[in-house]
Structure 1
Amino acid sequence: MFLTAANLAHYLAARGFVSSGDIVDGQFRVIEAGQHNRNFKVLCGARGGIFVKQIQAIDKLAQSSLLKEAQVYRLAQKFPDWAASVPTLLDYDQTRHSLIFELIRDSQNLREFYYQQRVFPTSLACLLAEALSYYHRLSFDENVLDADIPGLQKRVPWIFTYYKKSYFPPGSLSAGAVQFADFLRSKPVLTGHLDSLFETWRFETLIHADLKWDNCLMYHEAGQPKLKLIDWELVEFGDRRWDVGSVFQAYLSHWIMRHYRDQSQKREQLLQDTIDNMPFMFASIQAFWQAYCDQMQIAVQDRPSLLLQCLEFSAVRMLCTAFESLYGLAQVSEHAQALVELSQEILDAPARAARNLFGFVEEY
């Protein structure tokens, strides 16, 4: 059932994606690239390369998520701009619960790029804004979507109400992640913000729902930078502001999350590093916002209020990042506490955060 580096050649040959000549001639090479799934990069002959993604465990949720992702890629093919901004799906194997993509050679995700290069080009920010706009500006009939993407949900993200109820099976979380709910409950002003924002959620179009720099793949084509959005397994019918806010929080959480496994770092220093370094990102942040608004044809007079709403959602999305950082930890870390503090700072005063944390001009 499960694919391995050893049996991948036979599997791909059986499905017609590699030839015996590729394997015999020594042009077939497998690189394991798994994180939450079984991922493999396959370099092979004339085709150039294939990327294979298989779920890690056979359970209904994982199977449903993989099917949703496959259907999103198929739906995207109906819209040329959107199709160009996602990987090319070659095959969905429902028996093996795997997806086969055309490999994007010499690519890396934005997190890797920013960590290595320590620069934040406005060109990449604009590419990311355009990629979001390609599917955000589409109008879908909900009944048609239900048929196109089985299992598509209409729900507000779980993090809004995590302090009230855990949505995870008993024993599946680390002690630190369990304590995170108690940590949120100790901040009634913050949870009040969550309750208020919960009521503002809109169900308006497809959203990626898990936008982060890990899921933004950059590469070059004819010397020009290109970008694709990957990992659509959490796709939902929801609120565009969540995806946009997710991008804003990726900028803000960057400085805290660089070394989140280093438990010697203190909350105060992590916050100071963020304040000191955010100005290096201001041009990129503003380029992203300007490009997104232009692509979505948002009226100039509507942009300030929309920005503040997106920043509020970025603060909630940052709580997800804090939660995710606690995987395997026995207690709420300094990094998670710093992220929560930044989240509350935004929610307490969005306009001030727009200026001080994100570098927007006074009218925002």
Structure 2
Amino acid sequence: MVLALPELTAYLLDRRFMHPDAVLDGRLSLADTSRRNHNVLVSAEPGVGLFVKQGGASLAHEAAVYRLFGALRRAGVIAAAVPRDVGFDPERGILVLESVPGALDLTAYHTGSGRFPATVGNRLGSALADLHVSATIEARVRQAEFTGRMPWALALDRPGLGFYREMSNGGVELVRMLQSSPRLRAALAELRAEWRSDTFLHHDLKWDNCLMVPAGVSGRRTRLMLVDWEFGDLGDAAWDTGSAFGAYLGCWLGSIPVTGGEEPGRYLDLAAFPLARMRAAMAAFWRSYVAGRGWDAATADAELVRAVRYSGVRLLQTAYERTQRAARVPATVVCLAQLAENVMVRPEEAAVRLLGVLGEGR
């Protein structure tokens, strides 16, 4: 049963997750921020807060992810910039995490300012490489909890009956569109065959789950934190790095006032957020990630091609998510699907012409 806000306050006080003085002197505030789960952001005093998740079937798995991070901290290994686990109550289905008041997710950070600093790309690459290196060994030890799985978007061209039952008419139309492209279906089949489960991933890396956090007395957002570990699991590192590239490509394409189904490249000059403005950040992301992994140039370039192909799959996932309440496939979704196919089929060309990154691992 999901606790209402007054009941949740009593619960947090009873478990000593916050001090009674926060209630007595009026400093306590609770804000419902629910998405997949019932989420509440709790602020008790400046610079201190809690994030409470309730009722989701995946909370036990997310709690296992935080136990993994806790083990890394106790061993003196810093995995990635992640929130601390305050407590998990399996009987009530409540996960309590630290929160950082004043944090801003990368969607709001980038689109609010129209800027895409290389420093942010650098921090994201470093955090992701740190995660992939430091958390993987511990996750392999805990294979009963982290069994490895493949993203559902890799099978979007061949959904099962259960998946079809959840689709909107627009979603069904999109799947038929994907099924009509032999090139795209071949690319998806190749990626399914090549999938690895050898690295601990975030598995749902998008700008909404990357927070810029104030650091120090200046209040400048100079620290990056990765949040929402509901899907953390073993998998293919290129899925996370491809998702990072996909976030930039999706932002670019989403800023173009598309009115038809033409090729995305025809609208380059109309983008509110041009790719040219993002390339320094994407290059910095890849350089810092490669440095964190300790790869040589040949390995870096080979893994870049794989990451670019997975960025196309991430774009397909975004395209499908935008059809969930649609009766028809919107023009923007058609363009997303076209861009996804292009980068999956011609990843080297996309790395040069779109991302401007090929060879940045050298």
**Aligned length in residues:** 354
CA apart distance, 1:102? 1.7
CA apart distance, 1:84? 5.5
Q: Distance in 2 between matches of 1:93 and 1:296?
A: 36
**Pair 14,155 (structure 1): closer, same or farther in 2 beyond 3 Å:** same
CA apart distance, 1:62? 3.1
**1:352 is the counterpart of 2:349:** yes
CA apart distance, 1:328? 1.4
Matched residue type, 1:117 = S
Q: Distance in 1 between matches of 2:181 and 2:338?
A: 10
CA apart distance, 1:47? 7.8
Ranges of 4+ aligned residues in structure 1 off by more than 6 Å: none
Matched residue type, 1:90 = V
Q: Distance in 1 between matches of 2:232 and 2:111?
A: 27
Equivalent position SS for 2:102: coil
CA apart distance, 1:98? 1.8
Q: TM-score, normalised to structure 2's length?
A: 0.89
Matched residue type, 2:355 = F
Equivalent position SS for 1:39: strand
**1:339 is the counterpart of 2:332:** no
Aligned residue for 2:124? 128
Within a 5 Å distance, the mapping from 1:1-364 to structure 2 comes to: 1-45=1-45, 48-56=48-56, 61-78=57-74, 80=76, 82-83=78-79, 85-138=81-134, 139-140=136-137, 144-147=141-144, 150=145, 152-166=146-160, 168=162, 171-222=165-216, 223=218, 225-257=222-254, 265-268=259-262, 272-273=266-267, 277-360=274-357
**Pair 18,362 (structure 1): closer, same or farther in 2 beyond 3 Å:** closer
Q: Give a deviation string over 1:198-257, Cα, whole Å, max 9, x none.
A: 111112121111111111011121145001111111122111111111101111011233
Matched residue type, 2:88 = Y
Unpaired runs of 5+ residues, structure 2, are: none
CA apart distance, 1:37? 1.6
**Pair 253,168 (structure 1): closer, same or farther in 2 beyond 3 Å:** farther
Query: Identity of paired residues, percent?
Result: 28
**Pair 242,274 (structure 1): closer, same or farther in 2 beyond 3 Å:** farther
Q: Distance in 1 between matches of 2:38 and 2:201?
A: 24
Equivalent position SS for 1:209: coil
Q: Distance in 1 between matches of 2:189 and 2:53?
A: 37
**Pair 154,274 (structure 1): closer, same or farther in 2 beyond 3 Å:** farther
Q: TM-score, normalised to structure 1's length?
A: 0.88
**Pair 153,213 (structure 1): closer, same or farther in 2 beyond 3 Å:** same
Q: Give a deviation string over 1:79-117, Cα, whole Å, max 9, x none.
A: 656455000111111122121122201001101111101
CA apart distance, 1:363? 9.0
Matched residue type, 1:44 = A
CA apart distance, 1:287? 0.6
**Pair 168,256 (structure 1): closer, same or farther in 2 beyond 3 Å:** farther
**Pair 165,89 (structure 1): closer, same or farther in 2 beyond 3 Å:** same
My pick for the range that moved more, 288-297 or 31-40, is 31-40
Equivalent position SS for 1:337: helix
Q: Give a deviation string over 1:293-340, Cα, whole Å, max 9, x none.
A: 111111123322221121111111211111112221122222221111
Unpaired runs of 5+ residues, structure 1, are: none
Equivalent position SS for 2:143: helix
Equivalent position SS for 2:31: strand
